[in-house]
Chain A
Amino acid sequence: MIEAVGLTKRYGAKTAVHNLSFQVRPGAVTGFLGPNGSGKSTTMRMMLGLDRPTSGHVTIGGHAFRSLPNAPRQVGALLDAKAVHGGRSARNHLLCLAQLAGIPAARVDEVLGVVGLQDVAKRRSKGFSLGMGQRLGIAAALLGDPQVLLFDEPVNGLDPEGILWVRNLMKRLASEGRTVFVSSHLMSEMAVTADHLIVIGRGQLLSDMSVKDFISANSADFARVRVSTDRPEGREKLTASLTEAGGRVMPEADGALRVTGLGLPRISDLAHAAEVRLWELSPHQASLEEAYMRMTQAAVDYRSTADAKAGLQPPPGYGAPGLPGHVAPPPPEVPQQGWYAPPPPGQNPYAAPAAPHGPVPAAGTAPAAPADPTTRETSEDPR
């Protein structure tokens, strides 16, 4: 059982964590979610007594971490996979941690087997990939067979097989009655791993509920409606009819309509009454990803902006003359991302800035520019 009460951490003027109170219960995997810079790692460091809270406190099993008797036997933690001395072998790294807690060396070989690193145990961890580093960090957390486990982004850099393994490991640890606290920004991963979710944004608690409650509380189901294209006026007709009946209609980029607030049978009836033929009428339920995006929208610290490439434009006259169109190619139409839940009209911050992201060259804009006219030339030739 982990308990945070009024946890606050300030670095100078910046408040990393503000008045955070929550409990992490044993026997379940608790997901700890938040955008980058929302204070997840700071919170975990405070749990481990590495950072001192500005105010408030956090206890593990009723004790402050620093006063825990033999902490490694009670709390295992993976904070940063790269936080090892690169010149030391995997086995020696675990050995020095084991000796701290009076854990026999045989246990080191045991956990190396559990995480699948037994073949590289004698190799220096400097040459480890991120995934191998994560496995080593997980091995260190498991070393003392602790009742409380903290993992900060454990699946970062793991291959699909490794992700599956971590997922099953978390669930198994929780089913053994342990407290498992996992931070992540991968919503899809948490949807299948976690039982309970704690979401923070800008250091403040946004939500503390079970995964099931979280989805139903934060998502809006919607219906996708596609009208037959042979009669374009049908779309406007149906939109008007649905709006009149109390539904909310959002046009999608590919011509379909997103309808919220009306059941599927009702939409069908209204379409029938308006004499509009439907080619698609499908129910959609928001995923955890969508629910999470909606919740944390306002709390995202690092949002990307459109890449204008103003300083990288070739000077006028450079390149192929007589091709006026090549300086500013129109951004290609980018379909609205499918994962975005139906927002209230006019409040979709993703649809608008997303479009200019399209024509980003893979690498090095300079060599890409001269190539541009040639491709355009060929494409314009037939005209």
Chain B
Amino acid sequence: MASVSAVLNSEWTKIRTVASTTWTLISAFVVTVAMGAALSALLNAQFDDLPAAEQATFDPTFVSFSGMVLGQLAMVVFGVLVVGTEYSSGMIRTSLAAVPQRGSFLFSKIAVAGALALVVGLATSFVTFFLSQALLGEHGTDIGAENVLRAVFGGGVYMGLIAVFSMGVAAMLRSSMLSLGILMPFFFLVSQILSAVPGAKSVARYFPDRAGSKIMQVLPDAMNSDPAPYGPWGGLGIMVLWVVAALIGGYLVLRKRDA
């Protein structure tokens, strides 16, 4: 039996020797930081024009994470490609012939890729926080303020979880194209739109990205957003449940199906 450390080692070699890893992770970082900084600068300039309700619940930490909406898509691509290219290239058969224990293959791969996504996610969230606070000027906050560190740390965890969720979905669907075709519109459009539709709101708030992003809010209903029936940790918990479900689904598919 191939030992777990050997499989982890091998998966690390796999992930660092393809160009897509570098490009997707750099995009996630750059897009999130650039968009967060731009919006922070804009809001700082136009703070007085904001509606009174938004001024009252102004959450400088949450504002700095505005870029996540787009940055998470790069994380989705990263997660999908890590698993999906095994299938699209046919490498999966070579891999499974070398590691017949499919569980240790899949979870080693996800552990390595998830850890990498978490590290990049944390770097992204801390850089975007400090840069945005600098640009927000007098409206900004400080890392030492109440709950701010939790929100910034949570932003990194959120990005890592989005990537792991995508890996689970890709393992279930066994195809990069199909996974991207479902996840990209879901996170970019469906989730955003449904959370604004009155009737669908109560369902949409339990979607992984809606629930998970609660961790990035310092004020409970930041920027006059809808109140949710769960707190920041509860929201992250809901997202973790989604991730666990995707991983179990992916594992069952890999174990049951012919490669």
Contact = CB atoms under 8 A, between A and B. Distances in A.
Interface of A: 45, 48-52, 65-72, 75, 77, 79-80, 82-89, 92, 95-97, 99-102, 140
A65 B100 contact: yes
Given A72-B2, A88-B18, A101-B2, A50 B96 contact: yes
Contacts of B90: 80, 82-84
Contacts of B85: 85
Contacts of A72: 2, 97-98
A190 B256 CA distance: 36
Contacts of A70: 1-2
Given A66-B101, A88-B17, A71 B93 contact: no
15 contacts: A45-B258, A48-B96, A51-B259, A71-B100, A72-B2, A80-B90, A85-B85, A88-B18, A97-B10, A99-B6, A99-B9, A99-B10, A100-B7, A100-B99, A102-B6
Contact of B97 (A77, A86, A87, A88): A77
A178 B205 CA distance: 61
A87 B1 contact: no
A72 to B, nearest CB: 5
Interface string B1-29: 11100110111011001111000000000
Contacts of A75: 97
B93 A80 contact: yes
B89 interface: yes
A152 B164 CA distance: 35
Interface in B224-240: none
Interface in B88-109: 89-94, 96-101
A68 B94 contact: no
Interface of B: 1-3, 6-7, 9-11, 13-14, 17-20, 85-86, 89-94, 96-101, 258-259
Kindly list the 10 A-B residue pairs having the minimum CB-CB distance in the complex, ordered from nearest: A83-B90, A92-B17, A51-B258, A99-B10, A96-B13, A66-B100, A50-B259, A100-B10, A99-B9, A96-B10
Contacts of B89: 82-86
Given A84-B89, A85-B18, 6 more contacts: A49-B97, A79-B93, A92-B13, A96-B13, A100-B2, A102-B6
Given A71-B98, A87-B19, A87-B20, A45 B93 contact: yes
A87 B176 CA distance: 15
Contact of B91 (A52, A65, A85, A100): A85
A83 B20 contact: no
Contacts of A84: 89-91, 94
A1 to B, nearest CB: 18
A51 B7 CA distance: 21
Contacts of A87: 18-20
Nearest to B13: A96
A50 B13 contact: no
- Residue among A51, A70, A85 with the highest chain B CB neighbour number at 10 A: A85
B9 A49 contact: no
B100 A96 contact: no
A67 B1 CA distance: 8
A108 to B, nearest CB: 11
A95 B91 CA distance: 14
Nearest to B85: A85
Contacts of B99: 71, 100
A174 to B, nearest CB: 21
A51 B100 CA distance: 11
Contacts of A96: 10-11, 13-14, 17
A156 to B, nearest CB: 15
B49 to A, nearest CB: 48
A88 B100 contact: no
Given A52-B258, A140-B94, A95 B13 contact: yes
B14 A88 contact: yes
B113 to A, nearest CB: 14
A95 B10 CA distance: 8
Nearest to B259: A50
